[in-house]
Amino acid sequence: MVKRLAFIFLLLLNAALFGQDIKVKSSTDTTSYKVGDYINYTLRVEYNKNIGIIPPLIKDSLRVADIIKLDTAVTKEENGRMVTTIHAVLSKYDSAVVNIPPIAIKYRTLQNPDEKLFPNDSTLKTILCYPVTVLVHTLQVNPQAEIKDVKDPVKVPLNWLLILMWVVIASVVLGTALLLWLWFKKTKEKKVTAPPEIILPAHVVALSALNDLDKKQLWQKGMVKEYHSEITEIIRAYFERKFDLRALELTTTEVNLQLKEKPEAAGIINITNDFLNNADLVKFAKFKPENSVNEEMMKQALDIVNRTADHVLKVPPSPQEVPNA
């Protein structure tokens, strides 16, 4: 016991000698607490800039009470000196005298600002803060005093503005939900199933396109090249749908070769060859055909489609096919 007192005395003497360079203070916000109250404990170390300290680990020293919160050390500059602060929140759940023991701060004068300190360094000095004692007590009850009645419930006045706000919000929500329901119901009633896509036979599409081309009277207006381009494009598109050929991308020779591989196209090989070759002369060789050639192109196109149609359509015979009387 005597050795312990001597050690504490030496530490306090050491703190007095170096008190100007470093000061340490421990405190609580008050000295009297009720059971369960928060005890705010603060350890503050103030020192010169040429002093280096090792922030203490105070958790073990604070176990005299329940530790609710323990902050890490915070260091900042105040009035030209450095200040390190550690804050803790404690509590005690039974009545007692709580003694928070002195906390030891190790420090030393630094040789350079970037010097690091180590806890086991024998050159470190130590300064202690004062212990802190607080009283934790229960509520004082006078057993001789008269028992008082329980107080009536406190009446909280209605907040009409808040009530109105909730009514408006509820009205908006309900109104929006009603409008969405009515819109959904109306949309569902008006919803009509889209009719199935009608895919016309290839020969019907081709004959309709040829009829539209004939009505344009392109070659009659001097647009011969355009007429031959459109009429061959109609027949090539017909071949693609009818015989599954990429006729729009093939040359005339390639179209004829692939048509020969289709048994159902056997009756149009020669007429198709003449039809496409005549159109190539006009489109690529700048050949200027007679009007009769232009008329013959339409007849050949109709003949190609009718000969290979799913249902043969009767068309007026060409002059060459009329029998002699």
250 contacts: CB under 8 Å, gap ≥ 6? 236, 258
Output the pLDDT for position 191: 62
Is residue 176 domain-resident?
no
Output the pLDDT for position 103: 92
Of the candidate ranges 43-47, 140-144, 262-266, the one whose mean pLDDT is the lowest: 140-144
114 contacts: CB under 8 Å, gap ≥ 6? none
- Same domain for 26 and 133, yes or no, is yes
User: What would the mean pLDDT of 31-58 be, rounded to a whole number?
Assistant: 91
Query: How many domains does the structure of the chain reveal?
Result: 2
Is residue 148 domain-resident?
no
The end-to-end CA distance of the chain, in Å, is: 153
Q: By percentage, how much of the chain surpasses pLDDT 90?
A: 28
Of the candidate ranges 25-34, 136-145, 236-245, 314-323, the one whose mean pLDDT is the lowest: 314-323
| Cα–Cα distance for residue pair 74/83, rounded to 1 Å | 8
Output the pLDDT for position 280: 83
- Same domain for 215 and 298, yes or no, is yes
- Same domain for 129 and 229, yes or no, is no
Q: For 60-117, write each residue's pLDDT tens digit.
A: 888 899 999 999 999 999 998 999 999 999 998 888 999 999 999 999 888 887 888 8
User: What would the mean pLDDT of 256-261 be, rounded to a whole number?
Assistant: 86
Exposure class string for 265-291: b at 16+ Cβ within 10 A, else e: beebeeebeebbebbeebeeeeeebee
- pLDDT bin (cut points 50, 70, 90) of residue 258 is confident
Domain boundary among 137, 163, 194: 137
Query: Which residue type, as a one-letter code, is found at position 219?
Result: W
User: What would the mean pLDDT of 135-141 be, rounded to a whole number?
Assistant: 81
| Cα–Cα distance for residue pair 218/230, rounded to 1 Å | 10
User: What would the mean pLDDT of 209-220 be, rounded to a whole number?
Assistant: 90
Q: What is the CB-side half-sphere exposure of residue 70 using CA atoms within 13 A?
A: 11
Query: With 70 as the cut, is the pLDDT of residue 10 above it?
Result: no
- Same domain for 119 and 211, yes or no, is no
User: What would the mean pLDDT of 46-72 be, rounded to a whole number?
Assistant: 90
- pLDDT bin (cut points 50, 70, 90) of residue 321 is very low
Of the candidate ranges 16-25, 101-110, 228-237, the one whose mean pLDDT is the lowest: 16-25
Q: What is the mean pLDDT of the chain?
A: 82
Query: With 80 as the cut, is the pLDDT of residue 285 above it?
Result: no
Is residue 223 domain-resident?
yes
Is residue 3 domain-resident?
no
Domain boundary among 112, 137, 162: 137
User: What would the mean pLDDT of 213-234 be, rounded to a whole number?
Assistant: 88
- pLDDT bin (cut points 50, 70, 90) of residue 251 is confident
Is residue 124 domain-resident?
yes
Helices 269-284, 224-243: crossing angle, 10 deg rounding: 140
Tokens of 239: 């071949």
Query: With 60 as the cut, is the pLDDT of residue 159 above it?
Result: yes
Is residue 173 domain-resident?
no
pTM: 0.41
- Same domain for 27 and 121, yes or no, is yes
Domain boundary among 121, 137, 153: 137
Q: Which of 72, 90, 81, 102 is nearest to 10 (CA)?
A: 102
The most confident of the ranges 125-129, 247-251, 260-264 is 125-129
User: What would the mean pLDDT of 214-227 be, rounded to a whole number?
Assistant: 88
- Same domain for 40 and 124, yes or no, is yes
Is residue 2 domain-resident?
no
- Same domain for 315 and 242, yes or no, is yes
Question: Which CATH number goes with the domain that contains 126?
Answer: 2.60.40
| Cα–Cα distance for residue pair 53/83, rounded to 1 Å | 11
- Same domain for 28 and 129, yes or no, is yes
Is residue 190 domain-resident?
no
- Same domain for 129 and 214, yes or no, is no
3-class secondary structure, 146: coil
| Cα–Cα distance for residue pair 306/234, rounded to 1 Å | 14
User: What would the mean pLDDT of 14-31 be, rounded to a whole number?
Assistant: 75
Q: Which domain holds residue 304?
A: 202-321
Output the pLDDT for position 30: 92
Exposure class string for 72-89: b at 16+ Cβ within 10 A, else e: ebeeeeeeeebebbbebb
Q: Which of 198, 182, 223, 9 is nearest to 102 (CA)?
A: 9
Instruction: Identify which has the larger pLDDT, 140 or 41.
Output: 41
